[in-house]
Amino acid sequence: KGAMFRCSARCCEDSTASMQQVQRCIERCHAPLAQAQAIVTAELENFQDRLSRCTLHCNDKAKDALEAGGTEARVRAQLDGCLATCGDDHLRLVPAMAKKMKDSLAALQ
């Protein structure tokens, strides 16, 4: 962020530039930060979508088990176990996701 603001300040210091030129210069300064934010947002959205799909699968299994005559206590235990597995599985994905984001961010520079 600091580099972006310093770059933007240099754009504004050019007294010979037109307002449009200054604006384009500032937009160029902001582009890397916007790209970085897009990378992080996309990775987090993907992670959230995957986790959501997993929990929806657990909910579907629980609903099916209830409809098949399972007791509420047993279905609740199965649901809790399924959700715990989702959480554990997705926690294991965090280091790879962080590395992917770090590599993508490094490629911007």
At 30-88, the pLDDT tens digits run 998 899 999 999 999 999 999 999 999 999 999 999 999 999 999 999 999 999 999 99
Domain count, the chain: 1
Residue 76's CB is within 10 A of a number of other CB atoms, namely 14
- Check pLDDT > 80 for residue 109: no
- Check pLDDT > 90 for residue 23: yes
Residues 28 and 35: their CA atoms lie apart, in Å, by 11
Residues 70 and 78: their CA atoms lie apart, in Å, by 10
pTM for this predicted structure: 0.76
Minimal CA–CA distance to 61: which of 31, 86, 27? 86
Q: Which domain holds residue 35?
A: 3-107
Predicted local distance difference test score (pLDDT) of residue 1? 77
From residue 9, how far is each of 18, 21, 22, 37, 81 by CA, in Å?
15, 13, 10, 21, 54
